[in-house]
Amino acid sequence: MNAAKVANTKHTNEAVLLVKCPDKPGIVAVLSEFLHTFDANIIESSQYSTDPADGTFFIRLAYYCDQLGEKAEQMEKNFEGIARAFDMTYAFHYQAQKKRAAIFVSKEPHCLLELLWEYQTGDLPMEIALVVSNYENSREMVEALGIPFYYIPANKDIRAEVEARQIELMKEFDVDVLILARYMQILTPDFVSHFENRIINIHHSFLPAFIGADPYARAFARGVKLIGATSHYVTNDLDEGPIIEQDVERVDHRVDVKELRKIGSKIERRVLVKAVKWHLENRIIVEGNKTIVFQ
């Protein structure tokens, strides 16, 4: 199928430049001068250094450039020399192109519903290309919005077959980012390798506490006074990928497991939406097993 990126005409002349390099004097000046040579106007700038004496420098530059579509190729070509001189890892992101997302969900739909709501209000600048689930219960709410829904039963005995079909769908729909909205299946290293730093998961605990299954029951048994949720990029280490966002709420001894899950679901929804939004707005640089998030 033809899965061309959907244009967002409101941001036709806007882009983001993300840069990582060894820190030294003159980086910001060089980047500013480069954009100035193309009559680009910087509309947002955020930067961070791990150590100004001998660290790593990170910067996000959002800019407006008239007739950007005509200039973009030449800008990227001209930037290659600067990148070599400063040993930069970099990426240009054009805001006119919405990222195409696939949402994976299992039986609990609360995170999916939050994503669909934010998508409908326009607060998540993406196109939902498809929803994949190993349960049928979300089909009606998804298809009501004209979004393709794929029911693919999954378990450990047929995992290779299932993931082969899922990878095929991601290619067919030209997917940029995968969102695991409480998709309760472990992904294999082969699957993860196809989408490095492009799979966003929501985990129903404040990591690194209570890694794995049923964290609310274990939190109750431990008598915790705070519960939380964590959104992170998926790696081959279970629930240990680079953390994007976390949040918590206070609880006490009167709250049982059922109520913990209810409170937790609210935290999960807001944490996942924030993480997805920052990814879509190109506000994240992954550094090892950590993230730099320019909020």
Two tokens at 81? 């020399």
What residues have CB less than 8 Å from 62, skipping those under 6 apart?
14, 15, 16, 42, 43, 44, 45
Two tokens at 77? 């070509």
What residues have CB less than 8 Å from 163, skipping those under 6 apart?
187, 188, 190, 191
Two tokens at 221? 């048994």
Q: Are 279 and 12 in contact (CB under 8 A)?
A: no
Two tokens at 200? 């966003």
Cα(125)–Cα(120) distance, integer angstroms: 10
Catalytic residue list: 239
Q: Are 131 and 147 in contact (CB under 8 A)?
A: yes
In this structure, what is the dihedral angle of CA atoms 10, 15, 195, 245, given to the nearest 10 degrees? -90
